[in-house]
Amino acid sequence: MKSYHVNLGAGLSGLTLKDHTIPTPGPREVLIQVKASSLNYREIMILKGFYPLPVRPDVVPLCDGAGEVVGIGKAVTRVKVGDRVVGQVFPEWVDGPFALDYAAQLGGSMNGMLTEYAVLPEDAVLQIPPHLSYIEAAALPCAGLTAWNALTGGRGLVAGQTVLTLGSGGVSLFALQLAKAAGARVIATTSSEEKAAKLKALGADEVINYVTQPDWHLEVRALTGGQGVDHVVEVGGAGTAEKSIRSARMEGEVAMIGSVANEPVLFNINLILYGMVNLRPVAIGSKAQFQEMINLVRVHHLQPVIDRVFHFREAAAAFAYYMEGKYFGKVVIDHSGL
């Protein structure tokens, strides 16, 4: 079998392909033939050397992956050979709030999914909804679950509430789809009319072009009768956080997820105090939350938005393309045909 490997801070030039013996699963483990994996911003953080959680040396990257169970340990009861499964990014986080005790993660302190075969605990895999392909399912574990946690893991999402999403990355598009399925109104921001049309086709009720309307938080306020939104799925970090907070209604919630805007901007703490806004950091999600999200995806036949698919041998090109930041949806690596 073949696996890609990276080291913290080594950059894209450090991505190497190595040969290995196919592993044997332990008593309560399953052997997965990985069919597809996908990229997230955390992978770029690892390559650039500022990922906040531990990263093992020479790690197999990517926390997102889907595949077929081709072997099981003698004590496995929940999974059988032939099952189509996705892996849980934090295999030890079953339910409840996040804690350092559950911080071991695929593609970080544990080997990830950019490999032909992976061994995972049987309790760390979930069944893929029947209507999804492996390529679509590979988009679920990180971006999909993060969006679901952002919407439901704090104050909860109620039908009829309003959600603000930023841009067209994986988390934002999942948040749009999941929020609409849950009966919410969605306001989205984007940088072009072409992307605005795509967002509306996915169900966005209103779209704001942040290039032509740099003070987009004022337009959010206008679209909500001056009240602000109930939930903000904040992925920009310091570069967008202040406007996200200004977009939230009193007692609204801003789910803090990423820092893709990469701008060294600090916001006034009084925005939170006087606006009575709740800020909640989001660390992907637990297995229980993942199962909830998969149930909703299955019932509503939701399909992840895939921007582009690369072959396994084109992994370096997939990383390079993702780092350009021009994608609309998920960038996926197809492992089939190896």
Rama region for 223: left / alpha / beta (φ>0; ψ in -120 to 50; rest): alpha
pLDDT attached to residue 338: 67
Residue 61 near residue 3, CB atoms below 8 Å: no
The CA R_g of the chain, rounded to the nearest whole Å, is: 20
Inter-helix orientation angle 170-181/287-300, to 10°: 60
Strand partners for 126: 86
Q: How many CB atoms lie within 10 A of CB 92?
A: 17
Strand partners for 85: 67, 127
Residue 272's Cβ-count burial label (10 Å; 0-12, 13-18, 19+) is middle
Which amino acid, one-letter code, is at 254?
A: V
End-to-end C-alpha distance for the chain, whole angstroms: 10
Residue 239 near residue 215, CB atoms below 8 Å: no
Distance CA 51, CA 282 (A): 15
User: Quick one: tokens of 24?
Assistant: 């044997």
Alpha carbons within 13 angstroms on the beta-carbon side of residue 290 total 30
What confidence tens digit (pLDDT) does each residue in 28-75 have? Answer: 999 999 999 999 999 999 999 999 899 999 999 999 999 999 999 999
pLDDT attached to residue 238: 76
pLDDT attached to residue 190: 96
In this prediction, the residues of the chain whose per-residue pLDDT falls under 70 are 259-274, 338
pLDDT attached to residue 261: 46
Q: 54, 68, 132, 120: which is closest to 92 by C-alpha?
A: 120
SS3 (DSSP) at 149: helix
